Structure 1
């Protein structure tokens, strides 16, 4: 059973490995990866820049049965992660399955069943594509081209005036996918459009490079949190002793992902309650509820929280952004405060990154005109004469699937209505890696999607599937609609394929150590390799060592505040829902 996989990023590699590992006499999967670039790694290899690091932790991002080396920091560089992917290929003998410099130009349905995949090749990255087209037949197709491929650049009237005014500068206007080194920003007036994690990295890089001026434009605001918690001071006691705690490892499993009543899950009550308490905790520790030590750029109140947004976990530029806005009394700072990371010798003293709304247009002289609002940043910047020499669009990416034959009626990831992986009735085409977590990582999600798709093909998924209750809550006109809550989504897939272990089942087979780790840990993928059709012999050892160490790093107070208290609270809510649901079923109602 030939399976053509389009793309050799993390998603393409993990689906190839999973297919090989789960091939049998009835399903002799024979995967092949077609990659148009000259190397593996996808976005992590081709759309990164100097000093780029993962904002998700290695503990969460690593695949379930092949972990990142202990020598890696919690948040490795993009270069180190590509090294990890190459090690993954070697460990599972995937090299012979990968064809680099191979571009898929068309996929269409075969009238006799399956799909016809046509591709062209080249000798090297600098060579022209061959005119010779090769076509192969495959019963199954896995689309793994990723979310971050085609640069998205919004139209801003007058942007040509910036180009005209700065013809002496190389690339006065470009997308962040073309940005590679800080030296590009040195000594120039920089405008960055987009305040996501890439925009924040560019703003920080420009400040460190010695830019004359840096203006960071935010369309709807952002929610800033550090990817590692270790910079608080409470009553004079500093938390920066020893390694920090990765943010994405803090959400506990029990009553958050495991043992959640359908009514509690459907209401998203856990998300709203955690948002409520986190906002108050942030106010006590940092003086603001907008984010962690975030004094400007706050989102609208009705869209501020875990349920609505992708957390911005690249906070290095925040000290520069906060300077004109931070106001907190010395009294409250003496009780609790967030410690800004050291500036490690910036070229300018007290340099400020100016936050501003998106520009509506540029005047003929190259001056930016900003979108009017009541925002603090607009009030401060509305009369500023901002004439950037470089405009960088950090506005994300869009997806196109031009290689899918239109007449064949192929779905897109938006139409994959079964767990965002396949479209009902068209299960031979799988979309792997096309959701993005609010807090978490795409590679482990892709691994769980791979196992789910294999279970779909083998007819081993529970039936009927419960309603999807893992999507982030977005408005109808919002451009990005593929956001999910990481822990809810992966645990849902695990339940669908029979890989979510019960507490008694864990204790009986693995003992108390693994059980406690499962309850206190986040939704780490090794938890879903303990039981079921994809059980792995390496999972218990990984849980008892690496993941247990991650939990211990929280300390007693951290496990009390972030573990015991939430678990007891949410278990109580679930118990009440269980009793009410049982009573409801006794009178003929349904719990769904």
Structure 2
């Protein structure tokens, strides 16, 4: 059964590996990966830039059965992560199945079964596709793993051409998308405007400040929610959790028991867990930093109805926040003796009191290159409305859009947006899967891709439980939202695990593995390794990984951290689920139905 995988990023690699390991006489999967670039790594290699780091931790991002050493720092550079992917390929002997410089140009329905994949090849990355011979292959299954971050999304801003005209003497591009940015030196000595306050926009603002830019203006459409990628820069009653000690990765804090495991359907559908955790976190943030808008975030706050885990993608690129906060921070000094957030030490400080100016998104540019900002009552607009801002360099950090132009229009193929079965396949069209096309609010795409592949294999083999319960893992969005494929990482992973019989029972864990693994599972986050302890994808290496690396992550929180972030939430949510369970029984007794 030939399986064509489009893309050799982490999603494509883990898909090939899982298919190979789960091939059998009934389903002899024979995967090949077609990659248009000249090496593996996808976005992490070809849309990376100097000083870029992963904001998701190694504990969450690493694949379930191929881990990084305990001694390795929690957050990898992009180069280190690409190196990890290379080692993954070598370890599982995937390289021989990868065809580089190979571009899929069409996928069409086969008259009897499967798909005809047409592709072209080139000798190197600098060669021309146009002179390549067209090749075809018959595939029973297709896995599209081309990634969320390939085709730049560039909004039209009236008058942007005036910026180019005003800086026509420049020898370098003055308006470009962030995927073209590579080095800090590109920003030196310039008046820089960055459009977008996602993690890339924040990175670029920090890089511009440290490059010696004359001015940095960071533009936000509707705000952001800022957190550091690791919690380690706090002082409470004189006791420091500082950056010299290993921090606790923010994506490893949500515990399993009663938060993602053993959740009553009524509790899940109401999303009450998300709203309760938001309420608690906001009050904790106020105590620690003096503001509820984010972690030590004094400007750029989201609308109150969108502030929280249920609605947004957490921005874990926190390095630029000290420069953004400077004009706005107003916490009374005496409260800092109670608790305070300690800004990370500078690695190469810019000029004294340098400020990154936050501003609303531009409505248009004037003929002389000056920017006009969207009027509002936001703090950043009030501060910036009378400022004359005339950028020399404009960078679109405005994200990406999805394109599947290689899918034959006459074949009525779905796109990722049409994948109505767990955001992976369209009902009735299970032979084509979209792997890696959801975005977690807090988490990482590679481990999600691994779980999605497990689900797809189980679906093809008829091993997924039926009927599938309603999904309660999507982030809540407005109809006008640009991104509608957001998911809560923990809830989504747990849902897929339950669907395929890989979610372990507590008694089952205790009986087979003992108390140590059981406690790890209860207090740990939704690490993929937990879903390889039982079920169809059980692996022998899982218990050692859990007792070692993942136990280390849990114990780093300390006694107080595990009490506040583990025991107390577990007791509360277990009580809530018990009440829902009792009410559900009563409801069934009077003729009702619990899904």
Q: Which TM bucket (shorter chain)?
A: over 0.9
Provide the residue aligned with 1:107 in structure 2.
107
| Aligned counterparts of 2:499 and 2:432: Cα–Cα separation in 1 | 19
Question: Contact (CA 8 Å) 2:145, 2:436: kept in 1 or not?
Answer: yes
User: What CA deviation, in whole Å up to 9, does each residue of 1:228-249 have, x standing for no partner?
Assistant: 0001111111111621100001
d(CA) in 1 for partners of 2:67, 2:554: 17
Equivalent residues of 2:440, 2:489 under 8 A apart: yes
Q: Secondary structure at the match of 2:193?
A: strand
Find the counterpart in structure 1 of residue 38 from structure 2: 38
Q: What stretches of structure 1 move > 6 A for 4+ residues in a row?
A: none
Tell me which residue corresponds to 1:226: 228
Give the aligned partner of residue 570 of structure 1. Answer: 573
Say which of 338, 352, 356 aligns to 1:353: 356
Look up the SS of the partner of 1:489 in the other structure.
helix
**Aligned with 2:193 (options 165, 180, 191):** 191
- Partner in structure 2 of residue 161 of structure 1: 162
Distance 2:97 2:468 in 1: 33
1:281 paired with 2:284, answer yes
Q: Deviations over 1:299-350 (max 9, x none)?
A: 0000000000000000000000000000011111111110001123323110
Q: Give the Cα separation in 2 of the matches to 1:345 and 1:484.
A: 37
1:415 alignment partner, one of 413, 418, 427: 418
**Hey, what does 1:96 align to over in structure 2?**
96
Alignment match, 1:138? 139
| Shift, 1:125, TM fit | 1.0
Corresponding position of 1:517: 520
Secondary structure of 1:38's partner?
Answer: coil
* Structure 1 residue 167, shift from structure 2 partner: 1.2
Partners in 1 of 2:296 and 2:302 — Cα distance?
A: 14
**Aligned counterpart in structure 2 of residue 212 of structure 1, from 209, 214, 217:** 214
Structure 2: stretches of 5+ with no match in the other structure: none
> Which residue of 1 is the match for residue 47 of structure 2?
47
- Tell me what 2:245 maps to: 242
Q: Secondary structure at the match of 2:37?
A: coil
- The reply on whether 1:203 has 2:205 as its aligned counterpart is yes
Whole-angstrom CA distance in 2 between matches of 1:44 and 1:400: 19
Cα offset, 1:127, TM superposition: 1.4
SS at match of 1:314: coil
1:57 paired to 2:45? no
Is the CA contact 2:192–2:393 (under 8 Å) kept in the aligned structure 1?
Answer: yes
> In the aligned structure 1, how far is the partner of 2:291 from the partner of 2:583?
38
2:174 paired residue number: 172
- Distance across 1 between alignment mates of 2:245 and 2:327: 32
What is the Cα deviation at residue 73 of structure 1? 1.1
Q: After TM superposition, give the deviation of residue 387 of structure 1 in Å.
A: 0.2
Instruction: State whether residues 35 and 102 of structure 2, in contact with CA within 8 Å, keep that contact through their aligned partners in structure 1.
Output: yes
Measured after TM superposition, the shift of residue 70 of structure 1 is 3.2
Tell me what 2:546 maps to.
543
SS at match of 1:216: strand
**What residue in structure 1 maps to residue 66 of structure 2?**
66
| 228-237 vs 207-216, greater mean Cα deviation | 228-237
Q: Deviations over 1:481-513 (max 9, x none)?
A: 010000000000000000000000000000000
Residue 492 of structure 1 aligns to a residue whose secondary structure is helix
Structure 1: how far apart are the matches of 2:353 and 2:226? Answer: 21
Whole-Å separation in 1 of the counterparts to 2:208 and 2:323: 11
1:333 and 2:328 aligned: no
Offset, 1:417: 0.1
| SS of residue in 1 equivalent to 2:300 | coil
Specify every segment of 5 or more residues in structure 1 that has no aligned partner in the other structure, as ranges: none
1:71 shift after superposition: 4.2
- Answer yes or no: is the 8 Å Cα contact 2:226–2:294 preserved in 1: yes
Equivalence for 2:435 = 432
Specify the SS of the correspondent of 1:217: strand
SS at structure 1 position matched to 2:164: helix
Q: Secondary structure at the match of 2:162?
A: helix
- More moved, 337-346 vs 118-127: 337-346
Task: Write the mapping of 1:297-308 to structure 2, written as runs, cut at 5 A.
Answer: 297-308=300-311
Contact 2:122 2:132 in 1 (8 A): no
Q: What do residues 517-549 of structure 1 show as CA deviations (whole Å, max 9, x unaligned)?
A: 000000000000000011000001100000001
**Residue 491 of structure 1 is aligned with which of 494, 516, 529?**
494
CA RMSD of aligned residues (A): 0.7
Q: Distance in 2 between matches of 1:165 and 1:345?
A: 32
Q: Does 1:373 align with 2:376?
A: yes
Would the aligned equivalents of 2:452 and 2:496 in 1 still touch at CA under 8 Å? yes
Q: What SS does structure 2 have at the residue aligned with 1:271?
A: helix
Q: Tell me the CA shift for residue 131 of structure 1.
A: 2.8
Question: Where do residues 434-449 of structure 1 align in structure 2 (5 Å cutoff)?
Answer: 434-449=437-452
Structure 1 residue matching 2:567: 3-state secondary structure: helix
- CA drift of 1:113 comes to 1.5
Contact residue 233 and residue 342 of structure 2 kept, 8 A:
yes
Matched-pair contact (CA < 8 Å) for 2:151–2:400: yes
How far the C-alpha of 1:583 sits from its partner, in A, is: 0.7
Q: What secondary structure, in the 3-state scheme, does the structure 2 residue paired with 1:103 have?
A: strand
Q: Deviations over 1:212-243 (max 9, x none)?
A: 00000000100000000001111111111621
How many residues matched? 592
Q: Distance in 2 between matches of 1:456 and 1:476?
A: 31
Aligned counterparts of 1:152 and 1:62: Cα–Cα separation in 2: 28
CA distance in 1, matches of 2:264, 2:124: 54
